Every structure is written in C-alpha cells, then in structure tokens.
Structure 1
Amino acid sequence: MPGQVPLRDWEDQEKMNVEINVYGWQGQHAYARLHLPKDANFENARLAGMLMCFDFKHTKPWLCEFCGEPSRETQLQSVPYVWFPICRLPIYMHHVCDMDKPSCQAALKAAHDRINEEHFGLMGPHPPPMSKPPGEVYPLAASCANCKTDASARGDMKKCGGCKMTRYCGASCQKADWPRHKVACKRIRLVQFEGFSSGT
C-alpha cells in the first residue's frame, strides 16, 4: 500500500511528509517535497497543504491537462496517510482551462478515479466542481503570483530565489507577496519540473 512504504531519503519520521504532484498538458509535470508539522487532524493538514498549492500554480506557463488550452483553474486531491507511523500527505494538482467545460470536467473525473483506485479508494469520490459567479475568469497559471494579470504572463518572469519555483513580474511584486509566500517558501525541500522548454 503506498502509505506504508519504508521511509524515503527525504522524509522525516517526526514530520508530515508532503509530496505535491502537478500535471499539465502532454508531459508537463512538476513535483515538490516539503515537511509540515504532524497533525492528527487530517482536515487541518489538508488545508495547510492546499493553501501552499497557490504557489505551485504560478510557476510555469501551464496548459490544461486535458485539452491544451492555457490553464486558469486547478483541482486538488489529497490522500490521508496521516495516521500511519510514517506520516504522509500526497497531493495531486491538475491544471484545467475551465471547470465548466464538460469534456475537461469528465477527463478530470476519470483522472481522479484512476488515482483514487491506486490508493485503494482513500481519496473518496470525485467532488463536483465549485460553482463560480457567471463571467468569473481566474488568473492564468503563467501570471505573476502577486498581481495575477494576464499581461504579467511573460517569458522573462523571475523565480523566487528561495524556493526556485513561484514567479513574479518584478521585484516590487515579489516583495509585496513575501508575507504570504514565505510560509511555503521556507518549507520547500525540492522542486523538479519536467516537460517544459529551458526558457520557461
């Protein structure tokens, strides 16, 4: 069972070991590893991990995992291995263009069901998409993590020097976002990107 494999080299017996896998179009993939305090309350742990996922959205010019359009939304899934002797919280993050697009929503459910089966059903059923106000448009994944404007989604974005992950359009935006970003930044142990050109 995935939650019971032996302690891996990056894991800490005294911490909650969080691994976030992020998926986009045709091989776009990233994973990050971090530690959180052990918390017997799964909901608290899940919320902490999911709040950090904002930083993983604004990292690359992600495309929808299911159709290849620019990504604006994400779906997060987590598996509660928090009660095991080695405390783990795997999180899966899927980049989606628009949750209201029926074909992408169906493909997302299929992805959820496949991952859930690999984890023996611990994730539970696929949740319905969250409702959003008519006409609501979320920021591009490629945009600056602070100002979040479409105009900021350029090829010359600068990565945070600490986590080497979250991107900003300039120093002023990075400074303005630091009070929020520092929580995730200081916990990241490893970030790896696959399926992107060297210039992105």
Structure 2
Amino acid sequence: MANEIAVLGGGCFWCLEAVYQEVKGVQQVESGYTGGHVVSPTYEQVCDGTTGHAEVVKITFDNTQISFRELLEIFFTIHDPTTLNRQGNDKGTQYRSAIYFQSPEQQKTAKCVMAEMANVWDGLIVTELTGAETYYKAEEYHQNYFRQHPLQGYCAFVVEPKVTKLRTIFMDKVRAEV
C-alpha cells in the first residue's frame, strides 16, 4: 500500500467528507482547516471569515487503488468550482474551492485536471491551487458528521445529493460495503 495525502476544500467539509468516505482506496477522511493565518482556529473563528482558513478535508488514500487524478475528477463533479468563495448558500472565503497540493506531482496533476474541467464547466474555474499549508483538525463533533446526522436538515438537503451524485456517476469507485 502506498498512502498519499490530498487536502481539498469545496464548500462545507461535511459534504466532501461524506463523499470521500465512500470511495474505494480512501483510508481516512478528516475534516479540518487550512490556508489561513490563525494558529489552531476554532470552527466559530473560521465561520466568521476572518482567519483566512478554508474548511477542508484531509484524505489519506492508497494510490495503488485510486489516483490523485481520480480524486480530483470526483472533486470537480460534486462541487461547483466556478463560484468564488461560495457553495450554494454557504458564502465566505472559508467555503472556497481549493486544492492544497502535497508534491510537485500533485500540482502538475491538478493543473491538468483543472484545464480539462475548464471545458466541462460553463464558468471560469476559480479553484485555488496552492502548496500544502499548516493543517488543523476540526473539532471532534465535525468528524463523521453525515454518518452521525443523516437526517439533519443540511445533511438531508445538501450533503445527501452530493453522495447520491458520487454513487450515480462514479459507481465503480464506491466501496462495496456502502
């Protein structure tokens, strides 16, 4: 097994976490914050939009089972990379579309996938592409949020459609046990 890390921001971290937890080859998904200037920020601080941090997921994956490219193809399908600092009703820099690459290879792959996706989306892709920054794990109550609260309003109306989209479009990449 060759584990690799991907750190992605695409709106609320509950959405990305729920999706990537179902993907074959993904070993772990953790919600957190990165890209800002405040050390060890809290959820409340990040939500007020003044920390510079984005809500992200840190994905540990086995690159012999799923590639970084495939993770990005899912990423660009389940969120809108053309809306600056916004996903649906979630507005603010903390909800920006971002890829925090961990290596020059990831940077190169991300640039290629972003160029390909420019032909798929009608608007200009505004996804931030930047090198890895200090990552902070979000509070424990944010971890596995969708699994613990599937009927909560936001989960039912915002997260579930993204999970359904994964299961429909990428059914060959969904874990058998889901």
TM-score calculated relative to the size of structure 1: 0.35
Max radius of gyration: which structure?
1
Higher helix share: 2
Higher relative contact order (CA 8 A, sep 6+): 2
Task: Tell me the TM-score normalized by structure 2.
Answer: 0.38
